[in-house]
Amino acid sequence: MGVLAARFAREWRLSRWAWAALCLLAFALLFVANYNFYLWLQVPLMEVAFIMSLTKLCRGVVLRPFVWVGQLSAMLFVVHPVLRMLFCRNSATVLDAGVYPYLLPYLALSVVAAIVYRYVLRWLPDVKINPVQPSNTQQDLAT
């Protein structure tokens, strides 16, 4: 839903008042839907509507930190499972001590590791793999 909204929301020409009304309506429905099982299934749609309308209402200065984190999202996707495995080797220990003492260092280290990973990827040259031509493959299989 988020991808579709990102692709087609640029074509929507709504006034700031309409975006504000959509933001308030989506937030209200999001709040109410969390307490009803059948509406809870529609929460992702309401989240997308709320975030999309909120970003349309905000100006560039407010959105800058979110854009920065958005640029790191692919790196966070790659880095966080490895760090989670290192942080939470024994889940019983984490649950006994509480989740929050592990959560803040894990999040901070994930962001730092994503930044480092981003800079490492910038330094690496682009690798271009040439596809194997079918004629060579067929000759190798025949011999």
- Torsion sign, CA atoms 115, 120, 123, 127: negative
**69-88 tens-digit pLDDT:** 888 888 899 898 888 887 77
How many CB atoms lie under 10 A from the CB of residue 79?
21
Residue with the two structure tokens 């975006």 = 19
Report how far residue 82's alpha carbon sits from residue 107's, in angstroms, rounded to the nearest whole number: 12
Report how far residue 45's alpha carbon sits from residue 28's, in angstroms, rounded to the nearest whole number: 13
Residue with the two structure tokens 């981003």 = 118
Has residue 139 got a pLDDT over 80?
A: no
Q: Where are the domains of the chain?
A: 1-57, 59-125
**7-35 tens-digit pLDDT:** 776 677 788 899 899 999 999 999 999 88
Has residue 59 got a pLDDT over 90?
A: no
Residue with the two structure tokens 């194997």 = 132
SS (HEC) of 21-89:
HHHHHHHHHHHHHCCCHHHHCCHHHHHHHHHHHHHHHCCHHHHHHHHHHHHHHHHHHHHHHHHHHHHCC
pTM score > 0.85 for this model? Answer: no
